[in-house]
Structure 1
Amino acid sequence: MHLETLFTYMTLTVLGLLPIMNPPAAATVLLGLSKGRDKSYIVSQAKTTGVYLFIALCITFFIGASVLELFSISIPSLRLGGGIIIVAIGFNMLFPRPDNGAAPSGQDSIALVPLTIPSLCGPGSMAMIISLAAQIATYENHTSMTSVYGGVVAGLALVALIATFTLTMAYPLLKALGQNGINAFTRIMGFLLICMGVQFFTLGIQEIVLEINELL
């Protein structure tokens, strides 16, 4: 195994994924959906999200393209679907449903949806990973494919750890802002999430239009 190759692909994976994944944005989703919860719930959801995220990233890297091909799902369709989900989450944060002030029960988990999918492992992240996997698949004569794949998997693990740490920092922010601050912050982030979702949706529409124009 070539350590230099492993480190190179690990670094490229982390640097390529983190800006697209944007863990602080996912932390705000956790923050907005955790009103009335205690520290143990938030930390538990953060750790569970980290595990789910690593699994989802690995599945996307190794078989993501095959799964999309099996179900005839294109990248633009993936962007459209992810955009719709993100917009729905944003609306729920911008216009929260009234409650009776009681703390919600602890059986509801938000680790898989929406924290892992689509907040962290969303259309942009999936598209980037699938593109990376397709590029690596062309390296037939690479000197050490073990180091290449090992570096990518190590990068995915490091990204999941960074995301987990970022999510756990939501609780100190929750305590610092207080209830009124959280309510205002949640609505602001809800609006931004709606904008992000619309952006994903718009990109998907643009890519579909380009594909149609190429066929004509």
Structure 2
Amino acid sequence: MHFETLLTYLTLTVIGLLPMMNPPAAATVLLGLSKGKDKKYIVTQAKSVGINLFVALCVTFFIGSSVLELFNISIPSLRLGGGIIIVAIGFNMLFPRPEVSNNDPGQESIALVPLTIPSLCGPGTMALIISLAAQIATYENHVSMTSVYSGVVIGFMIVSLIAAFTLSMAYPLLKALGQNGINAFTRIMGFLLICMGVQFFTLGIEETVQVIHQLL
């Protein structure tokens, strides 16, 4: 195993994914959806996100392209679907439903959807990882593939740990803002999520139009 190659791909993976994922933005989503919850709930969700994110990244890297081909799903379609989900989440945050009394703070889990998918591992992240996997598959034999894949997987692990730690820091901010601050913050983030979802949707439409134009 070539340590230099491993370190190179580990670094490239972390540097490439963190800006795309934007864990602080996911932390704000957790903050907006955790109104009325306690510290244990937020920490539990953050840990679950770390595990779910690592699994999602590995699955996308190793079989993501095959899954998309199996179901004949294109990247533009992935962006369109992700955009719709994000808009729906943002709409519920901007116009929250009346709260139902619930004494069990751990009953509802938001770790997988929307925190892991599509907040952290969204269409852009998936497209980047699938592109990376396709590029690595074309490498010649002189490259140590064990080091390459090990570096990428360890990079996924580090990114997942960073995301989990960032989300776990949402509780101090939750306490600092107070109930009124959380209500206002939730609506602001809901509006921003709607804008993000519309942007994903628009990009998906643009890519679809480009594909259709190339076929004509």
TM-score for both structures, normalised by structure 2: 0.97
| Matches of 2:100 and 2:82, distance apart in 1 | 31
Q: How many residue pairs end up in the alignment? A: 216
Counterpart of 1:152 in 2: which secondary structure? helix
Letter in 2 for 1:98: P
User: Are 2:128 and 1:131 equivalent residues in the alignment?
Assistant: no
Matching residue of 1:160? 160
Specify the alignment match of 1:95 in structure 2: 95
Report the alpha carbon displacement of residue 55 of structure 1 after superposing the two structures with TM.
0.2
Shift of residue 106 of structure 1?
Answer: 2.2
Q: Deviations over 1:147-203 (max 9, x none)?
A: 000000011000000000000000000001111111111111111111111110000
User: SS at the partner of 2:49?
Assistant: helix
In structure 2, the residue matched to 1:182 is: 182
**Contact 1:49–1:116 (8 Å) recurs in 2:** yes
> Which amino acid is the alignment partner of residue 145 of structure 1?
M
Q: Which runs of 4+ in 1 moved over 4 A?
A: 100-105
Runs (5+) with no aligned partner, structure 2: none
Contact 2:53 2:116 in 1 (8 A): yes
Aligned residue in 2 for 1:59 = 59
Question: For residues 211 and 70 of structure 1, what CA distance do their matches in structure 2 show?
Answer: 20
C-alpha displacement of 1:93: 0.7
What SS does structure 2 have at the residue aligned with 1:52? helix
Q: What percentage of residue pairs aligned between the two structures are identical?
A: 81
Q: What are the ranges of 5 or more consecutive residues in structure 1 without an aligned counterpart?
A: none
1:34 aligns with 2:45: no
CA contact (8 A) 2:38 2:105 kept: no
1:205 is matched with 205
Q: Is the 8 Å Cα contact of residues 36 and 104 (structure 1) preserved in structure 2?
A: no
**For residues 105 and 45 of structure 1, what CA distance do their matches in structure 2 show?**
11
